[in-house]
Structures are given as structure tokens and as C-alpha cells.
A and B are shown apart, each in its own frame.
Chain A
Amino acid sequence: MNRPATGPDRSSLLRAYLGTLALLALAAGTRVLPAGPWSLPLSLGLAGGKVLVVFACFMQLRWRENLLRLAAGVGFFWLALLFLLAAADYATRP
């Protein structure tokens, strides 16, 4: 069966893979980098980058309907609500 453009081809998979490895190398580098307070947001940002590549390419969200992107995002959105309102407590404790 011929299904054009319903998913990534081999070269885009390989590029995505190399991209995640590069991000991993950068993240490992933050351990020796004197980034101080920026170290956590930096390494989390790099992890987020990896996950975005995996979601878009390996998990094929680039080629899918918006409903699926919504389903993928909604869990993270609700998690943000949990973090946000819990922070309302923890950040303002005396």
C-alpha cells in the first residue's frame, strides 16, 4: 500500500536521532559547565528539546491531525496547572 507523507522517511529519522544525541551531549556538558543557577533551566530546556524532536518526528506528530497534537499537549497543560497552583502554596509559605 502506498501511503505518501504519513510519516517520516529514513533520512529525517536519522537527522532527528543525531539531533537528540547532540542535545544529550550539551546536557551532559552542563554538569561541568559553571552555569550555577542556570544549570537547571538549561538542562531541562535541553531535555524539552529532545522530547520535542521525539514527539514531532519519532512519534510523528508533524504528520498528524491537530486533535492528536491537542491530546499530546493537554496532559502537559494540566500538569502545569498542578505545578502552578501547588507553587502558589509553596512559594508563599512564611
Chain B
Amino acid sequence: MIDPVAAGLVVIYFIAMVGIGVWASKKIHNMSDYVVAGRSLDFWVFTLLMIGSVCSGMSLLGVSGLGYKFAWPTIWEQLAVPLSIAFCIIFFGTKMHLVAKKSGYLTVQDYLAHRFESQTALRGMSATAGIVVSMIYLAGQYTAISIVLMWLFGLPHWMALLIGAAIVTFYTVIGGLYAVAWTTLVQGLLLILGVLIMAPIVIMAAGGFTHINEVMAAVNPTNVDPWVTGAGAVFTPEYILSFVLLLTIGLACAPHVINNILCAKDVKYFKWAPLVAFGIYAVVMFLLKFSGFAGIVLVNDGLIQLPKVPNASDFIFVYGIQAAMPSMFLWGIFAVIVLAAVMSTTDRLMLTIGTYFSWDIYKKILKPDAPDKHVLLVSQISVFIAAAVTLLLAITPPDMLVWLIWAGIGIMFATFAVPMLAGLYWRRATREGALVSMALGLITSLVFGGISYFKLAKLPMHFSFYAFVIAVVAMIVVSLMTKQTSEKVLEETMTGWYIRK
């Protein structure tokens, strides 16, 4: 039976999000308002948008799930993910924000098209790849929404998915990035406060931090090591290296994260935003991971029993909260926090997909003479279609939520990291090099991802690392074999081996 108080909290949260969407919709007058919030985001809205875009279903459910399953060797995730925000702002944002403001970019594809002098081929390929990987990532987010609503209300999976998707889609479609940014501000604050309060309660319920580590070590001594070695080990040193690269650089160049750079009002925010974002998010991530560790003790002591589902470890934080706080009211608050985390990424992803299609494919390639209002409408319809398609993908949840999201990040890493970094820092990088690098990165990451997922061969490192190396080699070889980009464009796009001149 649904508890009325818990249900009331979730309903109030949903109404608040819709209310922000309606308020934000009044600020939308053109594509710039819809896509980059008129480049008007203040420091805290921008910083929390960066955190909220990175903080996803993986952060609350997958991170603790992974901690429960693989213990301390997964702790590097807690450093790499917050670091990705700083990496994005420093290595991509500092230059790109300046160039974007001067040239009026609305998406990262505008930068790539300008830098590599490729208005259709590279723009089209990059936008298509961005849409595909964002949809993969989005499906994982929907699964997280479904987990929470199923647990709290006992709803069927499809109904939980439908409710969550309807709310996010509504406010994203009508409010664009204004709605996404301001809902993320609220969601981010809810998430931070919620984790700061709830995670310590779960940890204390399991006997405290030291006791948790002692129990973990007693269960398996390698549980408290920074990595594991030997046959069958997953988090080996070489795997962790690729894992850290994947999370730090892959998330930093993910379409739904890097596009936020274009929305900041002033470049001076990039001075302290990396440290602030890293500090806040690292604390949240560490607490979540420790909650996953606490789950090992709670299960070991028989205090909780995970459901018999393929992705059972993703339920560990949810069940930990349930064991630590036997109050439906608090469960309602917790549900709101998880929904806040998941929805803060979901809305950004949906908007990214809609923008990439309407601006980069429809406006810039298919119909360059389309009026702004027409493009805005196409963008809103695209967001709606993206929500519907990914909803269908999410109907059958994967074995483990976090693996699906990693697959998405891995493909982003292999596809976008090389053209972005080479474009910004290597003057010799050419259009052909970027095209081949991006295409090979995308294709080989899908191939290696398939090999890993279907266990066709044992890969010692994360599958995306191999694809990344291939993309790097392709970029270097093809660029050196082809004609260099004009000096005028290189100067306009501030290309060179520096972050700041």
C-alpha cells in the first residue's frame, strides 16, 4: 500500500519541477534562450548545473551498487568523476567559452564545424554520435527512476518509467535550458543535503566506518585494497588506469556536460568552479560509496536482503536506507533525493538530444533557411521523441545499471575526446583527421564494447581505452597526411598548446 506522506512528498517535488518549467518557459524567446539559457547562468547555477549533469542515477544507485559488489578497489571512481567536472571546465571550457561567445556557438558542434572547417560532414557525424550515446545514457537514467518509484510505490516497472519520463519531458520541452538549469539547482541542493544526512545514517547503522572496513576485510582481505590482482580480478591496476581516464575525460567531453560550458555568463566563473565542484561532488561521491560498503555489512549481518533481480546490487542504497530509517516519511524524502539526482541528468540529456537534432542536423544541414521559431518547435518535438524512444529502450533493464551507463561514457570517451582535445590544442589536427578519428572511435568502441559485454574475450582494460588509442593514432596519422587548417581559422578558434595565452 502506498504511504500517503511519502507519496505526497514525491508529488510535491514533481509539482515543483513542473512549476519551474512553466516559469522558465516564459523566458524562452529564441533558440539561444532555449539551448544555452541566453548565456546568462550565474556562478552557482552554472556550477550546480555541471554537478547535476554529471551526477546521475549511477551516482546514487550505481556507485553504491558498485561499492557493494567490488568494495574499495572501486574507490577511484570517487576521485575521477568529480575530477571530470574540473577537467571539462579547465581543458575544454576556458578556451571554448571565449570562442563561443565571440562566434555565437550554441553547441559544441558549432565549434567543431568552425575549427575543422566542416559544416556538414563532421557536424553531422558528431551530432549523430552525440544523439546515439546520449540515448544509451538516458536509458540507464530512466531505469534508475523506475527503481525508485517501483520500490516506494510498488508500481509496475513500465508505469514507474512512464510517470518519471512524463514529468521530465514536460518541463524540459517547455522550459529548455532555463528549466533544466533551475531545476538542477534545486535538485542539486536536495541531493547534496540529502546525501550529507542520509549516507552517515546508513554508515552508522552498519556499525561505523572502521567497523565496516574490518568486516569487509574479514569477508575478503582484498576488499580493502586499492586494487586487486590475479585470475578473475576486475579492478586490476591497468583496468583502474583505463577506468580513471574513461571517467575523467569521457564524462568531461560528454555532450550533456560539455555543452554547459557555453551557458555560463562570465568566464571568471571558471576560476573557482573547478575546485568548488570537485570539493562538493567528491564529498557526495565518497559518502555514497561508503554507503555501498555499509551494505556489505548489512547484508552480511542479515539486516537486509536484496531482491532477486539481475541488477540487485543497484538496490543496496535504497535497502540500506530502509534498514537504517524505518520511517515511510524519510523514505519519501529519500525517494525525492534519488529522483532529483536522476532527473538532473535526464533532463540535460533530453535537451542535448533535441538540440543536436534541431540545431545541428535540421537547421545547419537539412534546412539552413528555417526560421528560429520553426527550429525551436523542432527542438521541442525532438526532445519529446527522444524521451519516447529511450523509454522503450529502458523497458528491459540491463543486468547492472552502472555497466550500461559506463558503456555510454565509454563510447563518448572514444568518440569525442580526441577530436575535442586535438582541435583545441594541436594546430596540425585536420578535418580529415577529426572525421576518421571520430568515426573509428565510435565504431571500435561499439566493437570492443560488444566483445566485453558478450564475454567474447577477456579485455584487461576498459573496452573504451582500446578505441581511444585507435582514435588517437587515427587523428595523428591522418592529420599529418592531409592539408593543415587555415591559419585564420586556427587563430579564430584559439588553437594551440596553451590553456590561456
- Does chain A bind chain B? no
Binding site for A on B (CB under 8 A): none
B-binding residues in A (CB < 8 A):
none
